[in-house]
Chains A and B, each alone.
Chain A
């Protein structure tokens, strides 16, 4: 009987420890990686990564996590670099246009890895992007100015072919952001176009930068192309000679007030110094006499 009881206790203890082991393994949070691809008009490519996890049914961004980004095909693996996530769990890596990336027939495959730590499990994410090309042509007919874009993609054979039915966004570059002027889809010949607004301000010479892109495209990522043209309204800057708080010259009332106050005080100070000198002279004369 006693042996039976001891055996039962040992069995319960083993089971409990087993549960603990399982629980410990379960304690590791499984993070999630999402990645996006950008290609800018100067040829720079950018991989942006979001790193998060679910905790208490809420998505939580994971800051300060180091992630490795590689580009690969069936034969070659090239490490592009490591990035560390910011407070919002985001990080990005810019790839110089001169960098040679391993390619598939139609594009690139990028993988993002997280090695895991005491709280987070390992995680990885791969994205494949088909290489796309945008060609901008600008036409001016009377007062109508048209921006036309032709979208190409690389097919499985590595050939550059027309890409139909692709959403394209037309923008004009402003100081801090892109100003959207149209959203279109390419037709069967890979073309789409939009009119340039006549009242769009440019710089002193009327120059504007037109930026077209395929926003967050599932196949291509965001591919961007831009072109400069002097279609904008001329920016006429009239420098008005104002004396104000923000200018180099202070408002006149301020200058006069300061001068009156300062001269008022300092004239009195000099007068008092003069009085002291007079006291000295009077004393000296009295001693002599």
Chain B
């Protein structure tokens, strides 16, 4: 049996896991659609009545929309960093999980920026950023960086999919409609594993892996500079860019672990996504948790030690249990220590505990983004005259929560739809016999 036949056989095997949707899948699909519809209703309400239907007021002008934006852009790091770095290092064990990471990237970069639009009082003026935007503004940098990042992420995913599209096009066993086969034919770009085609494709993938890493760093640095370059307590920090980058990779890796668990347990891909993958990615999560904890400690210690009046006002809001204390300690300690324990101590380390650690990390990272945005905005440098009581404390309205749930539902829906049209395991890659069997992964 040649490599192509092995690949076709594996394609049929893997496709069997994504055959007829189960009852649970159908119920989940309908449930997610309902959440998206609710979010759509909330969106119409916000567009017709204005931002008064949200909890945002004159003090807190960015609420959970901006939190979600940073969160989704953060998890997009899963594909960019994990997939990019592991590809460049030719780590063999990356192959079964690389597609999941790349899909997380594309879907989250598609959803994340939508929350910026929701934060805008006048969405119809969005195009003004392109028409009248000034290069000096970090917001303009952000728009340029994210659009470039989105383009590159889609291209990266597409390049990685070409070989699998070719397999789907040529497969005779799977029941694929003519229309779908036609699309696969177009997308496969007449790829036939010819040596020159393979060489060019690998060159493209290596180039894209090299570009996507600095690009992802730039995107999240720019996002951090939107805050860091604003002279406000809690934001004006020189380490915000690397802090955001580390936090993003941390949350992206955690989401990747959760997605791996779903495919491992629910779609029964145990043969491909093994315990080894969880342990290796878990070790990456461990290192990232340590780095993230270090940055958190460094940031708050420096600010607290400086004892600058305005900075202290925010710091004490975060430390005070009657204010944001509980959330702060949860994000700063539980969000770091629990994933470290679950991934670092061999006694605790198994698929379920690593995933539980990842879930905690994801939740805590969302809370952390909330704590970056809201307490600072509740502490203005210049007090607003004759302010109303609701300005002082931000509470997200049901409209904002609905649109947040809508974003998460859309993320899951995109995943459910995408996996029906493209293999979640890179079939062509895993069927390939490596030339050098001394894998980097084995050394790890």
Contact = CB atoms under 8 A, between A and B. Distances in A.
Contacts of A245: 136
Nearest to A281: B190
Contact of B151 (A255, A269, A286, A287): A269
Contacts of A272: 155, 159, 204, 207-208
Nearest to B156: A272
Contacts of B148: 262, 265-266
A86 B136 CA distance: 40
Given A268-B207, A282-B196, A276 B136 contact: no
29 contacts: A86-B386, A245-B136, A250-B135, A258-B144, A262-B148, A265-B211, A268-B207, A268-B208, A269-B151, A272-B155, A272-B159, A272-B204, A273-B155, A275-B201, A275-B203, A275-B204, A276-B189, A276-B204, A279-B189, A279-B200, A280-B190, A282-B194, A282-B197, A283-B189, A283-B192, A283-B194, A286-B190, A286-B192, A287-B192
A261 interface: yes
Size class of B's contact patch? 20 to 34
Nearest to A264: B211
A284 interface: yes
B118 interface: no
A258 B148 CA distance: 12
A254 B135 contact: yes
B210 to A, nearest CB: 8
Nearest to A257: B135
A278 interface: yes
Contacts of B192: 283, 286-287
Given A272-B204, A283-B190, 10 more contacts: A86-B386, A261-B218, A266-B148, A275-B200, A275-B204, A278-B200, A279-B190, A279-B201, A283-B189, A286-B194
Complex A-B, nearest 8 residue pairs according to Cβ-Cβ distance, in ascending order: A283-B190, A250-B135, A280-B189, A275-B204, A272-B204, A250-B136, A279-B197, A275-B200
B144 A279 contact: no
A206 to B, nearest CB: 34
Size class of A's contact patch? 20 to 34
B134 interface: yes
Contacts of A275: 200-201, 203-204
Contacts of B196: 282
A266 B162 CA distance: 21
B191 interface: yes
Contacts of A262: 144, 148
B226 to A, nearest CB: 15
A271 interface: yes
Interface in B202-222: 203-204, 207-208, 211, 215, 218
A67 B135 CA distance: 52
Interface in A234-289: 245, 248, 250-251, 254-255, 258, 261-262, 265-266, 268-269, 271-273, 275-280, 282-284, 286-287
A87 B200 CA distance: 71
B191 A279 contact: yes
The DSSP consensus for interface residues of chain A is helix
Interface string B162-191: 100000000000000000000000000111
**Which of B148, B204, B208, B211: most chain A CB closer than 10 A?**
B204
B197 A255 contact: no
A1 B91 CA distance: 106
A284 B188 CA distance: 12
B147 to A, nearest CB: 10
B386 A255 contact: no
Given A261-B218, A276-B159, A283 B204 contact: no
Nearest to B387: A87
Contacts of A268: 207-208, 211
Given A276-B162, A280-B189, A282-B197, A254 B136 contact: yes
A254 B135 CA distance: 8
**Which of A86, A272, A286: most chain B CB closer than 10 A?**
A272
**Which of A86, A262, A266, A282: most chain B CB closer than 10 A?**
A282
A266 B152 CA distance: 9
A271 B210 CA distance: 14
Contacts of B204: 272, 275-276
Contacts of A273: 155
Interface in A54-108: 86-87
B186 to A, nearest CB: 10
B135 A284 contact: no
Given A278-B200, A283-B191, A265 B136 contact: no
Contacts of A254: 135-136
A283 B136 contact: no
A284 B204 CA distance: 19
A265 B215 contact: yes
A250 B144 contact: no
B144 A248 contact: no
Contacts of B215: 265
B155 A287 contact: no
Contacts of B152: 265, 269
A289 to B, nearest CB: 11
Contact of B207 (A266, A271, A279, A280): A271
A8 to B, nearest CB: 52
Contact of B190 (A250, A258, A265, A284): A284
Nearest to B166: A283
Nearest to B135: A250
Contacts of A284: 190
A258 B135 contact: yes
B404 to A, nearest CB: 31
